[in-house]
Structure 1
Amino acid sequence: MAPAISYQLLITYSILAFVIYILALVIYRLTFHPLAKFPGPKIAAVTLWYEFYYDAMKQGTYLWRIQELHEQYGPIVRISPNALHVNDPDFYEVYSGKVGEKRDKYPWALPHFNTPQGMVATAEHNHHRLRRGAVAQFFSKANIRRLDYVLKYNIKKFLGRLQEFEENGEPVNILEAFKALTSDILTTFAFGQSHNALDIPDFNKPFWDLFQELSHTYAICNHFPLFLPFMTSLPAWLQQVMGMEMVMVWEKKSRKQLQSMIDNRKLDEKDSRTIFGDLLDSNLPPAEKSIDRMWHDGQVFNIAGSETTSWALGNCTYYLLTNPEMLKRLQEELKTVIPDGSVDDIASSELEALPYLTAVIKESLRLSFGVAGRLYRISPDKTQVLRDGAKEWVIPAGTPVGMSNPLVSLHPKVFPSPATFDPSRWLDNPQLDRYLVAFSKGPRGCVGLNLAWAELYFTVAAVFARYGGEERTMRLWKTNVEDVQAVHDFFVPAPRLDSKGVRVVLSG
């Protein structure tokens, strides 16, 4: 009987040790942890399961629960055992960092990208700066302007597709059309060859539907970081059975294009200037130029860039079509520079000089948010101070601090009537630009913002110089405001789950 007693004692002691460990961990997190002094619900301070409940079980709604917590506790809240969240627009520049300041990312919040070698998922500041520096020149405003012809070519194809729907009278999901447009522009810039989503009758809808489904795993991946690596390591036949075939085809095509670019350089034959061409010609070490690493960057550039810009364009379309006075004012301004309705011969600088067009785009960016996910930043070597009236909160160096674009963009202190689409708020009000955070700011801000701005200027101008007037109409079809309002945070903003997108009918 002795071995049995020993076994029972071992089980008992193991359970007891586990209970003691959990109790000690709870006491530490509530009492001795560096963040113990910060306000917030005790359960969030004790366990990540509180966050998991809202983001996974309640489908990406922790963002709005955090908003409620700020209303209860103030501008700074402890939202998980090791992280804080701030909802004070004036703190954004401190949080994001200025030139010369270091900002790391929170490694815990990166697995959902499933691109561990990509620039966006690079946690350490200096390593990120190295990777960003290799492509920063390509994304410079001057270079994007030199490549205006790529945007104009794809926008012309896009308008051609819209004309097909105009002629047959069928409704078009213009949000999906915008995704195809931005994807074709990005793949041309990245690989030198478009993936030609605009040529596909449904704008490659199954691919984007699959991405939407995968984005729902955003929160799960942070809590279970091996989930996506496990899924992508499954045999190809099993991934096909699970409906992942389109992602596999896209990856295979992208890797083939990257290999071709590498081979051309071995033969001293360079392609036209591209994102990855610049990377391959940079001084990065060979390991930074592997196909795996570049594929990780390409994945983020295409998906994130297409989703965010197309969502902004979808918002813009909806709000202009539901505000005819605003649309008329925009069209009158556009006629001053493109009286024939074509952007073929106009420079982006001329569009950027139009105040109302710029205001419409800024307001569309404000209400589309860029991304909805909590963007964590870590100041590794300096404390940060948040002033809340007479009280000062000193945030220890090395602390993950999150801020959320939707909460900044909808903050009534900065934006009165925040849910209202009102481009005029941006006119003659340059100080408001500091609160436009759709592209984030600081050393971790979006590297592709100049490209996104150019896409927005040319696309909005081209679409609404042609449609929405008396001769060629564009009207919403079975679409309401809920189709452009973010309800879920799947890192990218998402409307209600049964939304069919922004659908319009064209006629001329």
Structure 2
Amino acid sequence: MISHSPWLLLAVAVTLYSASIIVYRLFFHPLARFPGPKLAAATRWYEAYFDILKWPGGYFMFEMQRMHRVYGPVVRITPDELHIRDSTWISKLYVSPTEKSVAEFEATIYQNIHLMLDNVARQTAQDGISEMRTNYLAFTTDTVTGLCFRRPLGLLEDDEQAVAWRETTAAVASLTPLAKQFRWLVPIALRIPMFILEGLVPSLSRIVKLRHDMKAAARSATEEREATRSTEKSADEAHAGNRADIFQKILSSDALSPSDKTVDRLAQEGFHAITAGSETTARVLATATYFVLASKQAVMPRLQDELRTVMPYLDSKPPIRDLEQLQWLTPISVSLRDVLLDEEIYPDPMEFRPERWLSDNPELERMSQFWVPFSRGSRMCLGINLALGELYIALASTFRRFPDMELFETLRERDIDVSHDYFLGEASASSQGVRVKAKGGYPS
């Protein structure tokens, strides 16, 4: 009688199971009829290879572009996912966003942008240059944490902490492809003792600490909400005269179910508010600053003329509704890449042409239908109004205060153009950031 090793039987079972999954995905899966590489349809390891193993990582977005060139506008990119590269689908898949006022954010945004510009002036005086990506990240992070939690991280008051936070977000972003493929890594990281993380991976420890802080803040907010219910004073009255933070707004919402108000859910919402509302806007601001300065002779005279109409003084603080009327201050963003870079909608999309957004462009209405950097519908960015407010105020204040600002050894190919996808489209690993010399401006 032939005896079989348990390991051999296990190997055979795993092989048969894997083969059956592959056969199902290739021939019987609901997406089997859609075109695309067979290997991508069979396993997510195809995506993992381009995002993790192919240097410099985060390369799957470029592989998807190749797929569309080969297979057409609709491609099966993973066993369970289709990708559509047809801008006309936007109006079918999403509804248009509504507009809301951002007036309540203005005072905080102006306060923080002037702190940031003071830092830029000081750094230029001390070191000869200032790196704008780090400064913008400090500005957006302190703004979103101040508005959402009534307690900014204080990055605008500490250059070293600002640099450390920039390094942290970059390091964590580089782990995004791994976390996307191996979702069990994040829960494990959250359970590792802080002293071990601080010794092994300092950058990751800062993010994990932020997650723990968010959970503690969420628990405190929940207890505070319960305490106000047990007194004669209502929760709404308790916060009268004080702007409620994001936790109190969620807890007081009648539209959300109890499952949406648990401590863990609140902590996740708070963490996402910080990470999604800081690095994204900072990247856009740094990119916009580069393109304005790189096209300085063509852009700056018109931009300065428009800015003076609403900002007669260097420290003027016009309402956002006035800045929105300045056509050359239209925000530039990077998201939903295929639509925003569709050459049939935006000729030469990689060229910086702010005049394409002026009112005398006959294609403006059509182009605006496909301007979706914040997405649309149920997945639309919830922070769109805050982000737009930051973009308008930050760019207007920066170029009004420093009309003679110049780039310093900043190259588009190295420091701006996207080379990989780490949560955001990022520049080359050798990038030195958007470095400038901030000339002029009033003394701090």
TM bin, normalised by shorter chain, reads: 0.7 to 0.9
Matching residue within 289, 303, 318 for 2:290: 318
Q: Secondary structure at the match of 1:7?
A: coil
Q: Report percent identity of matched pairs.
A: 30
| Higher RCO, 1 vs 2 (CA within 8 Å, ≥6 residues apart) | 1
- The aligned counterpart of 2:314 is 341
- The aligned counterpart of 2:374 is 439
- The aligned counterpart of 1:282 is 253
Conserved 8 A contact 2:105-2:386: no
TM-score by length of 1: 0.77
- The aligned counterpart of 1:141 is 100
- The aligned counterpart of 2:167 is 209
Against the structure 1 CA distance between its residues 23 and 194, is the aligned structure 2 distance closer, same or farther, given a 3 Å change threshold? closer
Structure 2 distance, partners of 1:220, 1:194, is 30
Once the two structures are superposed, the pairs formed by residues 330-479 of structure 1 within 5 Å of their partners are 330-344=303-317, 346-358=318-330, 361=331, 364-365=332-333, 369-370=334-335, 405-428=336-359, 429-468=364-403, 473-479=404-410
- The aligned counterpart of 2:206 is 246
Q: Secondary structure at the match of 2:160?
A: coil
Against the structure 1 CA distance between its residues 21 and 277, is the aligned structure 2 distance closer, same or farther, given a 3 Å change threshold? closer
**Residue 70, structure 1, aligned to residue 5, structure 2:** no
Structure 2 distance, partners of 1:80, 1:249, is 34
Conserved 8 A contact 1:157-1:198: yes
Matching residue within 192, 205, 217 for 1:234: 192
Aligned length: 418
Once the two structures are superposed, the pairs formed by residues 115-194 of structure 1 within 5 Å of their partners are 141-142=100-101, 144-194=102-152
TM-score by length of 2: 0.88
Matching residue within 8, 20, 24 for 1:24: 20
Conserved 8 A contact 2:189-2:208: no
Q: Secondary structure at the match of 2:311?
A: coil
Q: Secondary structure at the match of 2:30?
A: coil
Q: Which residue identity is paired with 2:65?
A: Q
Conserved 8 A contact 1:169-1:507: no
Conserved 8 A contact 2:246-2:270: no
Matching residue within 306, 314, 325 for 2:278: 306
Structure 2 distance, partners of 1:160, 1:168, is 12
Q: List runs of 5+ in structure 1 lacking aligned partners.
A: 100-135, 371-404
Q: Which residue identity is paired with 2:348?
A: S
Conserved 8 A contact 1:93-1:441: no
Structure 2 distance, partners of 1:443, 1:200, is 38
Against the structure 1 CA distance between its residues 251 and 83, is the aligned structure 2 distance closer, same or farther, given a 3 Å change threshold? closer
Structure 1 distance, partners of 2:431, 2:307, is 32
Matching residue within 14, 27, 52 for 2:48: 52
Structure 2 distance, partners of 1:299, 1:22, is 37
Structure 2 distance, partners of 1:289, 1:444, is 20
Conserved 8 A contact 1:487-1:495: yes
Against the structure 1 CA distance between its residues 261 and 225, is the aligned structure 2 distance closer, same or farther, given a 3 Å change threshold? closer
Q: Secondary structure at the match of 1:497?
A: coil
Q: CA deviation at 1:159?
A: 1.9
